[in-house]
């Protein structure tokens, strides 16, 4: 189409005296023509980013070419384009230089005109180039994001970022034109659109209420304008503009006009212009922490709400304003609090402490001196002052804090007279009635809360009514839709948060939606947050479905989300179970008049709950013109049957909503508990609400004076501390008030029994449980009853102080406990914001209207200690409890564990018998199971109390059968010490138990017992030990396998108790450490090569995401390995190596194979890893913060590697992002791992600089810093902590660019970081020695550059001295005859060399003397280590009892030293010359060496280990008489004596 500009309609806005802002749709031809005709130039340069170039550049080029073609100027002007990378990183000095180089290269001159096409990044960057290029050239802004249109392009601020901060270098430089083409927004991602809407809402909020009203009521139309692409340039001319396009443009123009006006008055930001910083003071601080994950507008959105809360707290803005702003921002998908899941789930969110935010705010440009300035709203559309207002820190920090504490005291406003917010129940009913009604209804005193906001938003979305505000928002005007409702646009769900009332009411409302003839495939979907999805709605769905409505539960049966087909409500007879919630009844009643037939509603299923709410609904329906008849039987007794006629509600012109009676219970209770008086207006005897009876039915009976008129209630409390308990009160008609009653009862003398509140278990949380658990923290006991609870009151002085109350996101829990905290010091109410549901300004009202001071508490900084774990607070010698089925080997494992820990083993059954003087079996026989379980519980309690340290305690298999015992164990595992579940395959247990008799037999199939108990075992334990051995009894074991198992038992228990954590020692700075990444689907494939594979490795990484069981292997697509398979894999690995395991579940986004969306499964696997006692756990920092905290809490002695991987290549090691990620990772990790991607060799040096700088910081954590890819290999050589390595024998590399240990050593050498050292063998004669071959082969295999040579000399003389003095000397072996002669040349001997009295190894060691490095020579003797290793391969240390050493030379010395070290009992020493043996024995006075002349020993004293140190040729020895004849022993043989293992045939 021949473009013409004549049919283009633009709005022009003037700024700084020029009409330079031109707004419209599809402006490209218009832009080309305007620029070329009004800004003559030789060169036009359009600069944009790659995203936008792809979408829009092709439209610009022909327009400019055409216009230039028509130009008569000679030479013809040029049109150049430059496309740069998108994103904030381009807004840098380098980015600016690139553009400048381009301009210079193309010989651009002073007259060039630059066009900035793009978002704020392009605008700021290109604007700054224009400001300085050739001392300033002309430029135009063509913003393509909403943010750029309404904010960054207007005002002339340009800037770039530096690593020190954003926008620090820049200039004011006004563009010639700003072309706002709203059609660009059609390609903008919606999140970016919302980002800009934050600024639009901001501008309206400070300046123009009318604009604000338009924004708050039209979000869906405004979204529609960008979501439907306009064809054929629709919108370019006014005649082709759709309604929503017009609306969008007017919103943009409105916003720009305000900004242009403010800029014109105050271009350089001296006062008025500060107003546009509304929301930014706090918003910027949040952004500084969350950037770049959370966008500017999103942070400003939260900032605006926090800043309005400050206005409210200062008593300047009413809750109405806060509520409207909140709802409006939410309707544009913007977050309004940092607890929004989009933010709360980010690990960075935990850095948002109040102190940190205040700290960042300190450097705000608006501040004057140290005082902070914030834009304070006085109402929507107006600010308190024409500039930002000074606000004290204390006020800001109170608002920012997530938790509150109440300062106990007498209310200073006493006697208090106040009204409470509108009733939630009445507000919600009124909204539905007025929306369904005919005509306009003005609602007054409507509650501004989450619930009503959700309800209004949903009704608007259904096009059921339109809402507008009057009286500065005090009055809501509802234009009723008379029951006409339509399905929301496809893909748009009605999200109800945790608003139960809205969910129940709207379910029936949605059945009323009529199908539109052309779009009958659609359904209405209502959904909520996680808690809402658990709250029941089943009976309502059942009743409506039975009546013919089509309602589908999309996730779990009887819960949200629901998909409701629009085909109207049929009507007729409906049966409804009404014992769970009266809201089901009200829901049907409210909608009933609009059914196709009149409805008869019959309530079934027993006792109807909360009748007063049903009566309330009926009363309100009457006010709106529909009369419901409740049937009665002949005797006049009311029945639960209601007749509702068909009809249409007639809206009364005005309706005033009664104050909330449940809310009123809090100030009244405060009067009761503090001995003061409180009068609540607008609630009295005439109230529709059951809770209005609270004062008379509860407080009066507790000893208060209560007076009530039709419309007023006054309570005067007795003197403080004199409240009395009520023996029994049925609160069925005021269930919501039971929490308040419970809080008061806690300090009333006596026991208060509250009944009729069973339904409170299925509210926002299980409220009965919540009250019991939280009161327990104060030391107040309660007893849970079927339909209520009994509170055992305590004197105020007895209650615990300093309690932190968890509120379960339940407003009533929070407010009930704030009542109690008016008399109990230092009570912290966590999650103070949950009151928003019904009384958003509760804390302000508590302070301002009641006169009780409230302070903010920052839990974030209280918890800032970061990586503390629950279990690290345990005492290191806390006893270990073992649980598991009978027959899993608890005793076997327990005894060995105790031996290796040096602790005492205790069998609970035996303890039982000693204590009760009767065996377990006999006890059950005599007294039955129940009595036994009770006795067993007592025993458990006494074990926990009396054997709390230094014991390994094996418990009976049935200990988990009672919940009381489970609680004891769970508590122990959390607060005191490890509880280990010993697991073993069930079929083996069955086999084993068939032969065992010590315990009473099971009365049911053992398989069933196992199934029932298994989840309990897991629930009660902190760790799993998988006992893989085929047989639990040790006598039938093969010694090699057995010793692997024993070593593993020792490793496992020493690690988890912390007695000897199995951690790598080489993580300190200056040392290098490596882990090998196992990439097998099944680690058993590695076993044939395990020794070669693990050479040089300090740990093994188990890549859990790559594990595949046989079943999983065949599956195509995503596989999540089962916990069972992974546990098995860990157990397998433990059998072949004691190296620490790094347990990693790498997600796809982070370069692994684990599906990203399976976060829960990933966390479950990580938890399983900790249970299995893995030493290192890799935790990705992008996991939800809650999960991270959980893992940290459970880590015990294991360590967390907090990791972050950037695969995009965008992360710069000298940028802000990497620092941010490091900070997050370091905040909870013991080790930090950051992986980037190198695009050049250079990137590795930047990485190295970063890592070095980090390493210099005080308290730096071990840091793994690596670049992926071939270009990044260098970083793997430079990295020193836990460098992940691969091995040529592995199936594939875990990451591109990964090197082997050998390759890294070679590279280090070539780089000069790893000089070659000289190693020698000193001795004579040595020419036949194999040592050089062995060593040099080893060096070669590991890629070490060293050389090992023979050094044969006739004595220890000058030659050896010279060799030792050489700085390249790496070490030496010393052999006969110099093992003693060498000693004078050495500086120090190791204890072993000292004891053995000979040196076979010389090691040069680096030492520091007053900061000066020096070298000493250390003599060691390693013979004993070889001997020790040979022994422990076959027997665990604990099994070595009696040993025999043959020979009395130097090696025999080493053998005795090894055996002594292993804790052997008697060591027989036999030598041909007994005298020599005796001399040797004398060297070891502490070892029990017994010289024997003949191989003979006392009965039962036969050695179970023999070490022969004499050459084979010399040893044909005759064994003892009872032995098996003669033994021929090779030199240095270490034998497991056949006297113990003859049965299995192994070991010889």
Ligand X SMILES: NC(=O)c1ccc[n+]([C@@H]2O[C@H](COP(=O)([O-])OP(=O)(O)OC[C@H]3O[C@@H](n4cnc5c(N)ncnc54)[C@H](O)[C@@H]3O)[C@@H](O)[C@H]2O)c1
Q: Is 270 annotated as a binding residue?
A: no
Query: Across-strand partners of 1179?
Result: 1202
Please enumerate in sequence order all residues whose Cβ is within 8 A of that of 376, keeping only pairs 6 or more positions apart, or say none: 307, 310, 311, 314, 316, 317, 383, 384, 385, 388, 389, 391
3-state secondary structure 1036-1062: HCCHHHHHHHHHHHHHHHHHHHCCCCC
Interface with ligand X (CB under 6 A), residue from 24, 77, 118, 1450: 118
Q: Which two tokens stand for residue 1077?
A: 């990444």
Cβ nearer to ligand X, comparing 91 with 1013: 91
Collapse the DSSP code of 657 into the 3-class scheme (helix H, G, I; strand E, B; otherwise coil) and give the result: coil
Q: Is 276 annotated as a binding residue?
A: yes
Q: Is 109 annotated as a binding residue?
A: no
Q: Is 798 annotated as a binding residue?
A: no
Cβ nearer to ligand X, comparing 166 with 777: 166
Report, in Å, the least distance between residue 1206 CB and ligand X: 17
Q: Is 1196 annotated as a binding residue?
A: no
Q: Is 55 in the site for ligand X (CB under 6 A)?
A: yes
448 catalytic? Reply is no
The arrangement of strands across the sheet holding 782-785 comes to 728-730, 751-755, 788-792, 782-785
Q: Is 698 annotated as a binding residue?
A: no
Collapse the DSSP code of 603 into the 3-class scheme (helix H, G, I; strand E, B; otherwise coil) and give the result: strand
| Strands 1141-1144 and 1176-1180, bridge-based pairing | parallel
DSSP state of 456: H
Q: Is 187 annotated as a binding residue?
A: yes
Only one of the segments 45-53, 171-179, 343-351, 582-590 lies at the binding site for ligand X (rule: CB under 6 A); that segment is 45-53
Report, in Å, the least distance between residue 296 CB and ligand X: 6
Strands (E), 589-635: 599-604, 629-632
Only one of the segments 63-71, 120-128, 564-572, 913-921 lies at the binding site for ligand X (rule: CB under 6 A); that segment is 120-128
**Residues between 906 and 935 with contacts to ligand X, criterion CB under 6 A:** none
Catalytic one among 269, 385, 825, 913? 269
Residues written for the chain: 1548
507 touches 526 (CB < 8 A) = yes
Report, in Å, the least distance between residue 120 CB and ligand X: 2
Cα–Cα distances (Å) from 1086 to 1073, 1091, 1127, 1289, in that order, read: 21, 9, 17, 9
Report, in Å, the least distance between residue 117 CB and ligand X: 9
Report, in Å, the least distance between residue 98 CB and ligand X: 16
284 catalytic? Reply is yes
Cβ nearer to ligand X, comparing 195 with 486: 195
Catalytic one among 26, 218, 233, 284? 284
Interface with ligand X (CB under 6 A), residue from 29, 77, 120, 323: 120
Q: Identify which of 1072, 1074, 1094 has the alpha carbon closest to the alpha carbon of residue 1083.
A: 1094
DSSP state of 375: P
Q: Is 904 annotated as a binding residue?
A: no
Name the CA radius of gyration of the chain, rounded: 40
Report, in Å, the least distance between residue 248 CB and ligand X: 14
DSSP 44-63: EEEEEEHHHIIIIIHHHHHH
Q: Is 88 annotated as a binding residue?
A: yes
Only one of the segments 51-59, 538-546, 590-598, 1426-1434 lies at the binding site for ligand X (rule: CB under 6 A); that segment is 51-59
Please enumerate in sequence order all residues whose Cβ is within 8 A of that of 1262, keeping only pairs 6 or more positions apart, or say none: 1067, 1068, 1230, 1231, 1232, 1281, 1282
Neighbouring C-beta atoms of residue 628, cutoff 10 Å: 19
Please enumerate in sequence order all residues whose Cβ is within 8 A of that of 1421, keeping only pairs 6 or more positions apart, or say none: 1390, 1392, 1393, 1396, 1398, 1399, 1400, 1401, 1454
414 catalytic? Reply is no
Q: Is 51 in the site for ligand X (CB under 6 A)?
A: yes
Cβ nearer to ligand X, comparing 276 with 1218: 276
Q: Identify which of 3, 73, 87, 86 has the alpha carbon closest to the alpha carbon of residue 36.
A: 73
Cβ nearer to ligand X, comparing 187 with 345: 187
Interface with ligand X (CB under 6 A), residue from 86, 703, 851, 1332: 86
Cβ nearer to ligand X, comparing 233 with 1013: 233
CA 1013 remoteness from chain centre: 30
Interface with ligand X (CB under 6 A), residue from 24, 119, 411, 464: 119
**Residues between 629 and 658 with contacts to ligand X, criterion CB under 6 A:** none
Cβ nearer to ligand X, comparing 121 with 580: 121
Cβ nearer to ligand X, comparing 52 with 908: 52
Q: Is 49 in the site for ligand X (CB under 6 A)?
A: yes
**Residues between 129 and 188 with contacts to ligand X, criterion CB under 6 A:** 144-145, 147-148, 151-152, 155, 157, 166-167, 184, 187-188
Q: Is 617 annotated as a binding residue?
A: no
1532 touches 1515 (CB < 8 A) = no
Q: Is 95 in the site for ligand X (CB under 6 A)?
A: no
Q: Is 124 in the site for ligand X (CB under 6 A)?
A: yes
Collapse the DSSP code of 1468 into the 3-class scheme (helix H, G, I; strand E, B; otherwise coil) and give the result: strand
Only one of the segments 83-91, 656-664, 1146-1154, 1512-1520 lies at the binding site for ligand X (rule: CB under 6 A); that segment is 83-91
Cβ nearer to ligand X, comparing 86 with 568: 86
Cis ω for the linkage preceding 1508 (within 30 of 0): no
Only one of the segments 82-90, 1004-1012, 1072-1080, 1539-1547 lies at the binding site for ligand X (rule: CB under 6 A); that segment is 82-90
Q: Is 292 in the site for ligand X (CB under 6 A)?
A: no
Cβ nearer to ligand X, comparing 52 with 816: 52
Report, in Å, the least distance between residue 590 CB and ligand X: 44
Q: Is 759 annotated as a binding residue?
A: no
Report, in Å, the least distance between residue 1077 CB and ligand X: 35
Catalytic one among 1233, 1237, 1317, 1379? 1233
Q: Is 1302 annotated as a binding residue?
A: no
- Measured between alpha carbons, how far is 1391 from 1422 in angstroms, rounded to an integer? 11
Q: Dihedrals φ, ψ of 1066, to 5°?
A: -95, 30
Catalytic one among 138, 806, 1023, 1205? 1205
Cβ nearer to ligand X, comparing 152 with 1306: 152
Between the CA atoms of 1505, 1511, 1513 and 1515, what dihedral angle is there, to the nearest 10 degrees? -40
Q: Identify which of 902, 906, 887 has the alpha carbon closest to the alpha carbon of residue 1033.
A: 887
- Measured between alpha carbons, how far is 1152 from 1159 in angstroms, rounded to an integer? 13
How many residues touch ligand X under the rule CB under 6 A: the total is: 29
Cβ nearer to ligand X, comparing 365 with 917: 365
**Residues between 1113 and 1152 with contacts to ligand X, criterion CB under 6 A:** none
Measure the N-to-C terminal CA separation of the chain; round to a whole number of Å: 95
Catalytic one among 704, 765, 807, 834? 834
**Residues between 186 and 245 with contacts to ligand X, criterion CB under 6 A:** 187-188, 192, 195
Cα four-point dihedral sign 467, 469, 474, 479? negative
487 touches 566 (CB < 8 A) = yes
- Measured between alpha carbons, how far is 616 from 628 in angstroms, rounded to an integer? 12
1048 touches 1134 (CB < 8 A) = yes
Q: Is 680 in the site for ligand X (CB under 6 A)?
A: no
Q: Which two tokens stand for residue 1282?
A: 């836990």
Please enumerate in sequence order all residues whose Cβ is within 8 A of that of 398, keeping only pairs 6 or more positions apart, or say none: 313, 854, 855, 856
Report, in Å, the least distance between residue 299 CB and ligand X: 12
Q: Is 150 annotated as a binding residue?
A: no
Q: Is 90 annotated as a binding residue?
A: yes
Annotated binding-site positions for ATP? 884-891
Would you tell me which residues interact with ligand X (CB under 6 A)? 49, 51-52, 55, 86-88, 91, 118-122, 124, 144-145, 147-148, 151-152, 155, 157, 166-167, 184, 187-188, 192, 195
Question: Which residues participate in the annotated binding site for NAD(+)?
Answer: 88-91, 119-121, 124, 144-145, 166, 184-187, 195
Binding residues, as ranges, are 88-91, 119-121, 124, 135, 144-145, 151, 157, 166-167, 184-187, 195, 199-202, 259, 273-277, 280, 296, 365, 884-891
> Which positions are catalytic?
269, 284, 834, 1205, 1233
């Amino acid at each position: 189409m021949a473009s013409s500009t004549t049919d283009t309609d633009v709005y022009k806005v003037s700024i700084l005296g020029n009409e330079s802002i031109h707004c419209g749709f599809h402006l490209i031809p218009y832009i080309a023509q305007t620029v070329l005709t009004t800004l003559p130039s030789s060169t036009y340069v359009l600069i944009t980013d790659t995203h936008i170039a792809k979408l829009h550049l092709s439209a610009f080029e022909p327009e400019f070419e055409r216009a230039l073609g028509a130009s008569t100027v000679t030479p013809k002007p040029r049109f150049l384009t430059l496309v740069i990378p998108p994103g904030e990183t381009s807004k840098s000095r380098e980015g600016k230089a690139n553009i400048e180089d381009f301009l210079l290269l193309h010989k651009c001159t002073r007259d060039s005109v630059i066009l900035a096409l793009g978002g704020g990044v392009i605008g700021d960057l290109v604007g700054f180039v224009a400001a300085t290029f050739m001392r300033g050239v002309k430029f135009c802004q063509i913003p393509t994001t909403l943010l750029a249109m309404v904010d960054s392009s207007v005002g002339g601020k340009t800037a770039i970022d530096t690593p020190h901060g954003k926008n620090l270098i820049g200039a004011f430089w006004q563009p010639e034109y700003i072309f706002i083409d709203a059609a660009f927004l059609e390609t903008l991602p919606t999140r970016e659109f919302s980002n800009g809407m934050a600024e639009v809402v901001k501008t309206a909020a400070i300046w123009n209420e009318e604009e604000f009203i338009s924004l708050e009521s039209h979000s869906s139309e405004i979204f529609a304008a960008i979501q439907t692409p306009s064809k054929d340039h629709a919108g370019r001319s006014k005649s082709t503009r759709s309604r929503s396009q017009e609306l969008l443009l007017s919103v943009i123009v409105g916003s720009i006009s305000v900004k242009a006006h403010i800029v014109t008055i105050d271009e350089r930001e001296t006062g008025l212009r500060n107003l546009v910083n509304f929301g930014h003071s706090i918003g910027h601080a949040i952004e500084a922490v969350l950037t770049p994950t959370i966008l500017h507008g999103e942070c400003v959105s939260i900032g605006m709400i926090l800043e309005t809360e400050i206005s409210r707290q200062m008593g300047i803005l009413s809750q109405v304003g806060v509520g409207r702003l909140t709802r409006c921002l939410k309707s544009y998908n913007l977050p309004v609090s940092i607890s929004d899941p989009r933010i709360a789930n980010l690990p960075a969110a935990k850095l948002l402490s109040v102190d940190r935010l205040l700290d960042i705010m300190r450097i705000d440009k608006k501040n004057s001196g140290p005082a902070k300035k914030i834009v304070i709203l006085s109402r929507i559309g107006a600010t308190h002052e024409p500039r930002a207002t000074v606000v004290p820190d204390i006020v800001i920090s109170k608002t920012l804090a997530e938790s509150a504490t109440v300062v106990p005291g007498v209310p200073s406003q006493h006697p208090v007279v106040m009204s409470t917010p509108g009733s939630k129940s009445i507000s919600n009913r009124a909204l539905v009635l007025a929306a369904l009604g005919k005509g306009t209804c003005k609602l007054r005193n409507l509650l501004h809360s989450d619930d009503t906001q959700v309800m209004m938003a949903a009704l608007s979305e259904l096009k059921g009514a339109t809402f507008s505000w009057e009286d500065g928002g005090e009055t809501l005007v509802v234009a009723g839709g008379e029951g006409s409702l339509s399905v929301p646009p496809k893909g748009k769900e009605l999200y109800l948060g945790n608003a139960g009332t809205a969910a129940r009411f709207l379910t029936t409302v949605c059945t009323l939606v009529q199908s539109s003839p052309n779009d009958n495939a659609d359904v209405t979907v209502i959904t909520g947050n996680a808690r809402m999805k658990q709250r029941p709605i089943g009976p309502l769905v059942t009743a409506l479905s039975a009546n013919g409505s089509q309602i589908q539960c999309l996730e779990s049966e009887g819960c949200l989300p629901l998909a409701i087909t629009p085909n109207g409500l049929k009507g007729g007879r409906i049966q409804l179970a009404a014992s769970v919630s009266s809201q089901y009844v009200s829901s049907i009643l409210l909608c009933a008049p609009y059914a196709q037939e009149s409805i008869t509603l019959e309530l079934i299923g027993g006792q109807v709950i909360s009748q007063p709410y049903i009566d309330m609904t009926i009363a309100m329906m009457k006010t709106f013109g529909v009369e419901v008849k409740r049937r009665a039987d002949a005797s006049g007794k009311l029945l639960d049957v209601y007749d509702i006629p068909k009809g249409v509600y007639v809206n009364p012109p005005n309706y005033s909503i009664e104050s909330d009676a449940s809310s009123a219970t809090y100030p009244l209770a405060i009067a009761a508990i503090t001995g003061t008086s409180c009068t609540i207006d607008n609630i009295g005897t005439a109230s529709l609400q059951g809770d209005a009876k609270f004062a008379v039915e509860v407080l009066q009976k507790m000893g208060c004076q209560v007076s009530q008129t039709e419309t007023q209630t006054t309570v005067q409390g007795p003197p403080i501390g004199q409240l009395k308990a009520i023996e029994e009160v049925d609160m069925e008609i005021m269930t919501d008030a039971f929490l308040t009653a419970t809080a008061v009862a806690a300090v009333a003398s006596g026991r208060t029994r509250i009944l009729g509140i069973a339904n409170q278990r299925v509210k926002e949380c299980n409220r009965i449980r919540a009250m019991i658990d939280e009161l327990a923290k104060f030391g107040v006991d309660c007893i849970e009853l079927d339909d209520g609870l009994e509170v055992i009151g305590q004197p105020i002085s007895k209650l615990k102080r300093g309690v932190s109350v968890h509120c379960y996101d339940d407003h009533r829990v929070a407010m009930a406990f704030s009542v109690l905290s008016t008399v109990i010091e230092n009570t912290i109410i966590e999650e103070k914001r949950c009151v928003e549901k019904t009384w958003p300004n509760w804390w302000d009202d508590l302070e301002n209207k009641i006169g009780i001071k409230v302070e903010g508490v920052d839990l974030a900084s209280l918890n800032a200690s970061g990586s503390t774990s629950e279990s690290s607070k345990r005492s290191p010698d806390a006893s270990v409890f073992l649980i598991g089925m009978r027959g899993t080997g608890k005793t076997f494992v327990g005894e060995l564990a105790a031996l290796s820990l040096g602790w005492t083993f205790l069998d609970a059954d035996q303890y039982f018998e000693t204590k009760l003087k009767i065996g377990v079996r006999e006890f059950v026989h005599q007294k039955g199971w129940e009595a036994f379980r009770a006795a067993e519980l007592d025993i458990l309690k006494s074990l926990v109390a009396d054997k709390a340290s230094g014991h390994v305690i094996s418990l009976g298999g049935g200990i988990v059968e009672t919940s009381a015992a489970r609680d004891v164990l769970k508590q122990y595992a959390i607060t005191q010490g490890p509880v280990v579940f010993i697991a073993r395959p069930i079929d083996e247990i069955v086999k084993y138990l068939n032969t065992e008799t010590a315990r009473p037999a099971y009365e049911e199939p053992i398989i069933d017992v196992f199934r029932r108990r298994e989840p309990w075992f897991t629930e009660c334990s902190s760790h799993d030990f998988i006992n893989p051995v085929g047989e639990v009894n040790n006598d039938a074991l093969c010694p090699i396998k057995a010793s692997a198992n024993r070593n593993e038992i020792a490793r496992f228990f020493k690690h988890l108790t912390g007695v000897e954590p199995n951690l790598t020692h080489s993580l300190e700075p200056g040392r290098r450490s490596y882990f090998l990444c196992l990439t097998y689907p099944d680690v058993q494939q590695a076993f044939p090569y395990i020794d070669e594979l693990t050479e040089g490795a300090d740990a093994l990484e188990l890549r859990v995401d790559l594990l595949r069981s046989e079943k999983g292997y065949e599956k195509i697509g995503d596989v999540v390995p089962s916990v069972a398979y992974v546990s098995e894999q860990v157990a397998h690995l433990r059998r072949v190596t004691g190296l620490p395991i790094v347990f990693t579940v790498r997600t796809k986004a982070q370069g692994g194979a684990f599906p990203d969306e399976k976060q829960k499964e990933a966390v479950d696997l990580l938890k399983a890893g900790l249970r299995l006692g893995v030493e290192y756990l890799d935790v990705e920092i992008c996991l939800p913060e809650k999960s991270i905290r959980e893992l940290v809490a459970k880590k015990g002695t294991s360590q967390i590697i907090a990791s972050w991987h950037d695969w995009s290549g965008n992360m710069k090691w000298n940028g802000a992002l990497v620092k941010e990620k490091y900070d997050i990772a370091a905040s909870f990790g013991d080790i930090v791992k950051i992986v980037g991607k190198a695009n050049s060799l250079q990137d590795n040096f930047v990485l190295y600089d970063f890592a070095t700088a980090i390493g210099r910081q005080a308290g730096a954590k071990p840091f793994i810093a690596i670049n992926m890819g071939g270009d990044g290999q260098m970083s793997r050589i430079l990295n020193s902590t836990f460098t992940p390595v691969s091995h040529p024998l592995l199936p594939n590399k875990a990451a591109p660019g990964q090197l082997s240990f050998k390759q890294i050593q070679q590279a280090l050498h070539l780089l000069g970081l790893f000089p070659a050292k000289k190693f020698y063998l000193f001795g004579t004669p040595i020419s036949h020695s194999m040592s050089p071959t062995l060593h040099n082969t080893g060096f070669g295999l590991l890629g070490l550059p060293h050389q090992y040579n023979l050094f044969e000399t006739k004595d220890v003389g000058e030659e050896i001295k010279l060799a030792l003095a050489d700085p390249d000397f790496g070490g030496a072996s010393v052999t006969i005859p110099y093992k003693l002669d060498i000693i004078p040349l050495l500086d120090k001997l190791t204890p072993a060399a000292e004891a053995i009295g000979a040196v076979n190894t010389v090691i040069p060691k680096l030492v520091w003397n007053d900061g000066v490095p020096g070298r000493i020579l250390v003599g060691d003797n390693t013979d004993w280590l070889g001997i020790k290793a040979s022994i422990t391969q076959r027997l665990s240390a604990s099994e070595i009892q009696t040993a025999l050493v043959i020979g009395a030379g130097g090696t025999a010395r080493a053998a005795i030293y090894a055996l002594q070290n292993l804790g052997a009992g008697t060591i027989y020493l036999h030598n041909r010359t007994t005298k020599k043996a005796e001399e040797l024995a004398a060297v070891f006075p502490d070892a029990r060496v017994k010289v024997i002349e003949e191989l003979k020993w006392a009965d039962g004293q036969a050695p179970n280990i023999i070490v022969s140190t004499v050459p084979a040729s010399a040893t044909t020895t005759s064994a003892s008489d009872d032995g098996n004849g003669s033994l021929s022993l090779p030199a240095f043989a270490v034998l497991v004596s056949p006297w113990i293992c003859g049965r299995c045939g192994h070991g010889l």
